[in-house]
């Protein structure tokens, strides 16, 4: 595939710097950048835990520290406090 891209001065300078530091051709720099970005996106898709922590979903709520063990009694006490005895 042939790519034709227009870069503003800032990105042209960055590309020139990368070429100077790595001694690579423009094609090789672009290939490396695409590979790096591709791997990053693949890693994000494979790791659901990472996605949940990045969005702030994990750790956003508060609960009793022993809720997984005592969930029945906690629920019973909460319903009793809300509705009383029936």
- pLDDT for the residue 32: 96
CA distance 29 to 32: 5
Has residue 19 been placed in a domain?
A: yes
Domain that holds residue 66: 9-83
Has residue 32 been placed in a domain?
A: yes
Number of domains in the chain: 1
Q: Examine the pLDDT at 61 and tell me if it is beyond 70.
A: yes
Query: Coil, helix or strand for 61?
Result: coil
Has residue 4 been placed in a domain?
A: no
Q: Please state, in angstroms and as integers, the Cα–Cα distance from residue 63 to each residue in 7, 35, 70, following that order.
A: 51, 42, 12
Q: What pLDDT, in 10s, does the model give residues 31-57?
A: 999 999 999 888 767 777 877 887 888
Determine which of 11-20, 39-48, 53-62, 73-82 has the lowest per-residue pLDDT on average.
Answer: 39-48
- Looking at residue 7, the DSSP 8-state letter turns out to be -
Has residue 68 been placed in a domain?
A: yes
Helix pair 26-46, 9-22: axis angle to 10 deg: 100
Q: Please state, in angstroms and as integers, the Cα–Cα distance from residue 3 to each residue in 17, 24, 55, 67, following that order.
A: 20, 17, 34, 56
- pLDDT for the residue 52: 81
Has residue 2 been placed in a domain?
A: no
Has residue 61 been placed in a domain?
A: yes
């Amino acid at each position: 595939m042939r790519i034709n891209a227009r870069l503003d001065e800032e990105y042209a300078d960055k590309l020139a710097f990368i070429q100077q530091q790595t001694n690579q051709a423009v094609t090789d720099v672009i290939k490396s950048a695409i590979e790096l970005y591709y791997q990053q996106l693949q890693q994000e898709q494979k790791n659901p835990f990472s996605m949940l922590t990045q969005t702030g979903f994990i750790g956003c709520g508060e609960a009793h520290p022993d809720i997984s063990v005592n969930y029945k009694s906690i629920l019973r006490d909460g319903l009793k406090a809300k509705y009383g005895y029936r």
